[in-house]
């Protein structure tokens, strides 16, 4: 019996080492150590503003070095504010690099440069995305290609480029793909068949990559937010002013989300707190899809 327990204990300790969670010794003073991201390095596509930047701030505040990647020539002013806070108040940091997620070589080079600089890449969030409102019969091929190239190809490019660096440096990591509840339901008040289906593809991509990379210590999950007040959603309201009232009525909380309400989800998914979660879909939509 003692031999069996010793073997079991050894296996548990080995698992904790592999997942970077230190076993309890009774001497720790730090609370919620599973959320500590000190010395870790992350990349976030679509990190120049909005949801991506809000998530980047959460990782930075937990002590991480975060690279925000976006196609904006310059990040939004809110990025500079967050960057100044990082240097002043927290142990982490924020840096900005311009990339186009549609260009696989550009993405590969960016991820490789990040990993080479720090000799590691602990995780990545693929948050770059666009929407296009148009009925299926009127939807142009040009718009279809742009949405799919950014929302699906771009996510695939970012995920594989990040994983390639994790393999290169022989480490595990966590990858979070930003999908949408639009990948699970057809939203009232928003005619966007290609956008919706691109997000459904991201959900399935996360499951497939989780299956491929799980035994190598790389976890992959997807996040499906509900309606968030962002510049992309403002575009919907401009084209269909009645959409806001419709979405609020369909939501159990009676309101839309703000990007900051997904900070906790990002920290959970990218930290050791979610060490046994992969291939999962986090649905955070204010109850929109629950009735």
Chain segment 15-67, per-residue pLDDT in tens: 444 445 544 444 445 678 999 999 999 999 999 999 999 999 999 999 999 99
Question: Contact at 8 Å (CB) between 59 and 127?
Answer: no
> Percentage of the chain with pLDDT > 70?
89
Rounded Cα gap, residues 270 and 60, in angstroms: 12
User: Per DSSP, which regions of 88-190 are E strands?
Assistant: 93-98, 123-126, 173-178
Note if 20 is an active site residue.
no
* DSSP symbol at 127: -
Q: State the average pLDDT over residues 257-283.
A: 98
**Cβ(263)–Cβ(58) below 8 Å:** yes
For range 162-183, the mean pLDDT: 98
Q: Is 199 a catalytic residue?
A: yes
b/e burial code for range 218-231 (CB count within 10 A of at least 16 → b): bbbbbbbbbbbebe
Domain 34-284: state its class: alpha beta
Share of the chain above pLDDT 90, in %: 75
Instruction: Please state the φ and ψ torsions of residue 197, each to the nearest 5 degrees.
Output: -70, -30
Q: Regarding predicted confidence, which is higher, 25 or 230?
A: 230
Region 184-192 average pLDDT: 90
Q: Across 18-117, where does the E strand assignment appear?
A: 41-45, 65-70, 93-98
Q: How far apart are CA 262 and CA 267, in angstroms?
A: 9
CA distance 121 to 42: 6
Are 73 and 98 spatial neighbours (Cβ–Cβ below 8 Å)?
Answer: yes
pLDDT at 27: 41
186 is written with which tokens?
A: 């057809």
**What is the band of 187 on the pLDDT scale with cuts at 50, 70, 90?**
confident
Q: Output the six-digit token pair for 10.
A: 């050894």
């Amino acid at each position: 019996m003692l031999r069996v327990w010793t073997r079991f204990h050894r296996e548990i300790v080995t698992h904790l080492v592999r997942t970077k969670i230190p076993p309890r010794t009774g001497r720790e003073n730090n609370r919620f150590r599973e959320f500590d991201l000190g010395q870790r390095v992350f990349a976030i596509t679509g990190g120049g503003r909005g949801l991506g930047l809000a998530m980047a701030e959460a990782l930075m505040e937990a002590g991480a070095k975060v690279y925000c990647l976006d196609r904006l020539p310059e990040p939004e002013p809110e990025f500079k504010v967050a960057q100044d806070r990082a240097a002043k108040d927290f142990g982490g940091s924020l840096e900005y690099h311009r990339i186009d997620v549609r260009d696989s070589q550009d993405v590969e080079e960016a991820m490789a440069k990040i990993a080479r600089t720090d000799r590691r890449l602990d995780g990545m969030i693929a948050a770059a995305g666009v929407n296009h409102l148009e009925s299926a019969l009127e939807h142009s091929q040009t718009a279809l290609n742009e949405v799919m190239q950014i929302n699906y190809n771009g996510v695939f490019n970012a995920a594989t480029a990040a994983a390639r660096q994790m393999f290169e440096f022989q480490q595990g990591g966590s990858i979070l793909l930003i999908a949408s509840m639009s990948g699970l339901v057809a939203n009232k008040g928003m005619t966007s068949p290609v956008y919706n289906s691109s997000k459904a593809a991201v959900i399935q991509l996360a499951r497939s990559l989780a299956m491929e990379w799980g035994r190598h210590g790389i976890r992959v999950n997807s996040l499906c937010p509900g309606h968030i007040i962002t510049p992309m959603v403002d575009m919907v309201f401009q084209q269909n002013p009645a959409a806001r009232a419709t979405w609020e009525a369909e939501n159990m909380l009676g309101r839309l989300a703000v990007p900051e309400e997904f900070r906790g989800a990002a920290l959970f998914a990218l930290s050791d707190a979610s060490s046994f979660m992969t291939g999962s879909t986090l649905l955070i939509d204010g109850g929109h899809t629950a009735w």
